[in-house]
Chains A and B, each alone.
Chain A
Amino acid sequence: MEKLAATSPAGVLLDLSGVLILLLAFACLGSKLFNRYVAYYGAQSVVLAFAAGVAASTFHSIQLWVLAGFTLAIKGIGIPLATRRLLLRRLALGRDAAISAGLSTSLIAGGGLTAFAYLVTRPQLLPHGVVAAAVVPLSTAVILLGALAMVLRRHTVAQLIGWLIVENGVFLGAITLVATFPFIVEAGIFLDIAAGVLIMLVFVSGLTRELAEASAAELRGLRG
C-alpha cells in the first residue's frame, strides 16, 4: 500500500483535518451551552467526512467514498439534527450547569491529555507502514478529550456528545488504516452508532419525564 507522505497535498490535508478535529474537541470542552456542544460535534463530523473523502480520492477507493457520505449524512447532519429537535428543543435545554470542573481547568487537563497522547503514540513509536502516522496521536488525543468531557460533565446529553466525540476520534484513527477495515464492519459501526444514539435519546427523554432534570448529578437512586 502506498504511504501518505506528510508532504503530499493529501497528507497535508489529512493532517490539517486531524488538527481541526482536535480543535473542535477542545472547543466543545470549553463551552457551556448545549447547542454549542451539538454544533461543534456536527462541525467535527463534517471535517471527518472531508478527511475520509481525501483518503478516498488518494486511494481511489469507492468504499471510502461511501463511508465519507455516511459520515456526512449520519454524523454531520442526522445526529445533530435529531439531538436538537428531540432533546434540546423539546426539553428546553440551554446552559449546562452540571460541570464538575471550571472551564479553564477542563482545558488545561485537555492540554495535558493531548501531550500524553503524543508521548504514547508519536509517529516514531509506530511501526513503519502506518499510513499517515501523524494522525494517530491526534486521534488518540480526541479520544481522550471526549472521555474527559464525559467525566467532567454530568448531564446525560453532555455525556452522549462526549461518547460521540470519542467515536469520532476512533474513526479518525481508522481512516489511517484505509483499506483494512472491511466495509461490512464499517457499515456495522455506523449502524451501531445510529442505533445507540436512538436508544440513548429514548432513555434521556424517559429520564427527563421521570426526574425534573436528566442530569447524571441527580442519578443517585442507585448506589453501593
Chain B
Amino acid sequence: MSIRMFRDRSEDELEARLRRSRPTPRAEFSDQLLSRIQPREERPGSLRFVVAVAMTVGAFSVFGAFGGIGYAAKAVSATAHGIASVATPSSGLQTNGNGHGHGPTTTNGQSGTNGNGGNGGNSGSNSANNTSNTNSANGNGPGPPSGPGNQCPPGTHGEPAGSTNCVANGAGAGNCGQNQSGNTGQGAGNGGNDNGTGNSDACSPSGNQYGGKTTICHRTESDTNPFVLITVDNSALPAHKAHGDTLPNPDGSCPGPEIVL
C-alpha cells in the first residue's frame, strides 16, 4: 500500500515535471506563425444590423419620394381583391343587367293612348361582391291607358272593364347593370306611369335608347298627304309644335291633338 502510494506520488511528480518542462516556442516564432494564420474575422453583428436598417430606410425613402409605396399598396389591394373575387364562390347568374328600360314611345293624347310602361332594368345578378342581387321587380309591362276616354284593357290591372280609372303601374326597381365596380346596382328601372312615359333605367347608356321620343304627325305641306307619322326626340317637340305638327289620334290617323309640352 505504501509502495503504491509512493509510486503514485512519484508519478504525479514526474507528470508535473513533464508538464512544467513542456517545451514552448520562441516568441518570435510564435508571433510569426500566428501572423500567417489569419483567423476568419467576422464583422460585428451590431454593425451588420445597422447597415441593414440603413439600407432598408433608404430604400423606403426612395420609394416614398417617387410614389412607389402608394403604387405598391394599390397593386397589393387590387391583387387581394382579385384573389378574393376568384376564391369566393359566386352565386346566381352572371348576367349583369344592362338596364334596357324601354321607355314609352307614345304619349297620351286627348283620346288616350296606351303607353307601354318602361321596362325596368334587366335582372342583374351582380356577383362581384357575392350579393346575388337578383332583381325580380322588373319594370312593368304595358302601361295603363290614360287620358280621358280611354279604357283600360280588360284584366290588365284588375280594373273593371270599361273603367277609365286605371291603376297606375308601380315602379319597378330594376337593377342597374354594367356595374363594373362590383357594387350592387340599385338603379331604378321605373315602370311606366299613367302617361305611358315610363322612365327607363338612367344608369345604363343603352337604357334610354327610345325613352325620349314621341311619335307625331308631321305636317308636310302636301295636299295629297299632308301629315306623316314620324318619331322625334322629345327635345324637338317645341319646334315641331311650332311647325304645326300634332300628336296622332289613338287610331294612328293624323292630324290629332296638339302637342302638349
The answer to whether A and B interact is no
* A binding-site residues for B, Cβ under 8 Å: none
B interface vs A, CB < 8 Å? Answer: none
